[in-house]
């Protein structure tokens, strides 16, 4: 086997013949030609073997032993005698109109999933703009939105901050059964969501059985309007976060009132921990704080009880009874922040107790915030919503 035959076998392109090879410390250049001598006219679909002229195309392929691989391919320009059309017959393994092979494009795309375009460009010796354009072109083909939506039964709706501090929110749609992001909408306005779901069609709206969201009235209204067969569940995470905020507001007020009491320092995350995850040191620090404030202990225990009733309730009726008893006891404390939380529970109780029958949460959607922060960091911010959306959807494809 000659060196040329060895590399032909290694590259794996059956229609490529290597005539000579150049090697440097950084590159391997293969001078080659396409074996095909007859091609089909793209205009009249007639076969032709008449060649008008040749040109050399320079195409980048996957690296070999950390050295760039370039194919200098002698390609013939065919002429069709039937319709007088001139055309080049480009091998199918070259990306149309590009200076790289399809497998090189796929490799670049995979690198871009977790790295900045400038870093990938440096690795493959392409400009970052070329890499960026390649990524977004392939991303559009990969996400396959119709297929994502076709199988959805349990829908999660939540928001993420596009530009922090600007009240600029994007709305995230999640398939809670498969644990993937379905789509990202430019804002969380009721009219935007309604138009989007109506555009997906009646069949899609009728197939939705459960909608899980936070306490944002437009989400509730849209769900009632668009999904006639769905049960609406307010995400447990947001309810627990709200009562944790009550606990934290009391801690902050105690810190301000007792500035020189060390027992109220550095206990925030210990208060938020579930008791079963606390160690002896955590309990000792908490007990010191409870000795100074009976109200802090009462609300801490209330929070723990609140968590446990969601774990224990077997159906909606039982969860509602547990919540009613919990509310009755909590009202006796007459703490302003707690009273606000109780009013929230009463206002949204039907959708809160629905958790007991469906057992769904928006945890998948909440985890998307980590993706967004990562992509913003490696991309020095993503000001274009379309690009941010593609980055997110590709990460869950």
Query: Per-residue confidence of the chain (397 residues) as pLDDT tens digits?
Result: 789 999 999 999 988 999 999 999 999 999 999 887 888 888 888 888 888 888 899 999 999 988 999 999 998 888 998 888 898 888 889 887 888 999 999 999 999 887 888 889 998 988 989 998 999 999 888 888 888 899 899 999 988 776 655 567 888 898 998 888 888 898 899 999 999 999 999 999 999 999 999 999 999 999 999 999 999 999 998 899 999 999 999 999 999 998 888 889 889 999 999 999 999 999 999 999 999 999 999 999 999 999 999 989 999 999 999 999 999 999 999 999 999 999 999 999 999 999 999 888 887 777 666 666 666 666 555 667 787 788 878 876 6
- Res 22: pLDDT: 94
Query: Is residue 201 assigned to a domain?
Result: yes
Query: Is residue 133 assigned to a domain?
Result: no
Phi-psi category of residue 167: left, alpha or beta, with phi > 0 → left and psi -120 to 50 → alpha: left
Query: Is residue 382 assigned to a domain?
Result: yes
pTM of structure = 0.76
CA separation for the pair 364, 181 (Å, rounded): 8
Query: Is residue 172 assigned to a domain?
Result: yes
Residue 74, strand partner residues? 33, 56
Q: What is the DSSP string of 94-130?
A: BPTT-SBBHHHHHHHHHHHTTS-HHHHHHHHTS-HHH
Question: What is the CATH number for 188?
Answer: 3.30.420.10
Q: Do 186 and 272 share a domain, yes or no?
A: no
Q: Do 206 and 150 share a domain, yes or no?
A: yes
Query: For residue 32, how many other CB atoms are within 10 A of its CB?
Result: 23
Query: Is residue 372 assigned to a domain?
Result: yes
Query: Is residue 26 assigned to a domain?
Result: yes
Q: b/e for 11-31, b at 16 or more Cβ within 10 A?
A: bebeebebeeeeeeeeebbbb
- Res 167: pLDDT: 63
Residue 180, strand partner residues? 175
Query: Is residue 324 assigned to a domain?
Result: yes
Query: For residue 306, how many other CB atoms are within 10 A of its CB?
Result: 19
Number of domains in the chain: 3
CA separation for the pair 173, 182 (Å, rounded): 5
- Res 148: pLDDT: 85
CA separation for the pair 375, 394 (Å, rounded): 12
Q: Do 245 and 354 share a domain, yes or no?
A: yes
Query: Is residue 338 assigned to a domain?
Result: yes
Q: Do 88 and 2 share a domain, yes or no?
A: yes
Closest by Cα among 73, 69, 41, 40 to 55: 73
Q: Do 351 and 381 share a domain, yes or no?
A: no
- Res 32: pLDDT: 93
- Res 38: pLDDT: 86
- Res 369: pLDDT: 63
Query: For residue 335, how many other CB atoms are within 10 A of its CB?
Result: 19
- Res 11: pLDDT: 93
The separation between CA 397 and the C-alpha centre of its own chain, rounded to angstroms, equals 8
Q: Do 247 and 199 share a domain, yes or no?
A: no
Q: Do 321 and 266 share a domain, yes or no?
A: yes
Q: Do 353 and 241 share a domain, yes or no?
A: yes
Q: Do 260 and 220 share a domain, yes or no?
A: no
H helices, E strands: number in the chain? 18, 12
Q: Do 348 and 245 share a domain, yes or no?
A: yes
Q: Is 368 exposed, middle or buried (0-12, 13-18, 19+ CB in 10 A)?
A: buried
Q: Do 340 and 191 share a domain, yes or no?
A: no
- Res 166: pLDDT: 55
Closest by Cα among 349, 372, 366 to 237: 366
Instruction: Provide the domain limits for residue 284.
Output: 236-358
Q: Do 204 and 68 share a domain, yes or no?
A: no
């Amino acid at each position: 086997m000659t060196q040329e035959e060895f590399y032909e076998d290694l590259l794996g392109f059956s229609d490529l013949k290597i005539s000579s090879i150049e090697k440097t410390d950084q590159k391997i250049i293969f001078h080659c030609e396409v074996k095909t001598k007859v091609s089909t006219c793209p205009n009249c679909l007639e076969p032709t073997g008449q060649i008008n002229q040749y040109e050399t195309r320079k195409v980048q392929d996957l690296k070999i032993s950390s050295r760039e691989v370039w194919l200098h391919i002698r390609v013939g320009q065919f002429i069709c005698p039937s319709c007088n059309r001139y055309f080049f017959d480009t091998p199918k393994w070259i990306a149309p109109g590009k200076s790289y092979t399809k497998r090189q494009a796929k490799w670049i795309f995979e690198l871009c999933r977790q790295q900045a375009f400038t870093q990938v460009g440096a690795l493959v010796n392409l400009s970052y703009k070329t890499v960026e354009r390649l990524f977004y072109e392939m991303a559009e083909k990969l996400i396959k939105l119709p297929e994502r939506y076709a199988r959805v039964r349990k829908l999660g709706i939540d928001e993420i901050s596009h530009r922090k501090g600007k009240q600029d929110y994007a709305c995230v749609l999640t398939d809670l059964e498969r644990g993937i992001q379905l789509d990202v909408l430019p804002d969380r306005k009721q009219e935007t969501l309604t138009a989007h779901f109506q555009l997906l069609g009646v069949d899609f709206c009728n197939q939705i059985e459960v909608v899980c969201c936070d306490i944002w009235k437009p989400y509730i209204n849209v769900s009632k309007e668009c999904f006639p067969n769905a049960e609406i569940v307010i995400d447990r995470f947001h309810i627990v976060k709200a009562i944790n905020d009550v606990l934290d507001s009391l801690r902050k007020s105690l810190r301000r009132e007792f500035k020189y009491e060390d027992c109220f320092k550095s206990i925030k995350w210990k208060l938020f921990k579930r008791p079963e995850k606390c160690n002896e040191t955590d309990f000792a620090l908490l007990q010191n704080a409870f000795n100074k404030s009976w109200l802090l202990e009462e609300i801490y225990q209330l929070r723990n009880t609140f968590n446990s009733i969601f774990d224990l309730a077997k159906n909606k009726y039982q969860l509602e009874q547990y919540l009613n008893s919990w509310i009755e006891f909590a009202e006796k404390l007459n703490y302003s922040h707690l009273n606000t939380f109780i009013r929230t529970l009463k206002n949204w109780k039907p959708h809160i107790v629905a958790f007991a029958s469906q057992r769904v949460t928006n945890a998948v959607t909440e985890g998307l915030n980590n993706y967004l922060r990562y992509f913003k960091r490696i991309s020095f911010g993503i000001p274009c919503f379309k690009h941010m959306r593609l980055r997110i959807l590709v990460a869950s494809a």
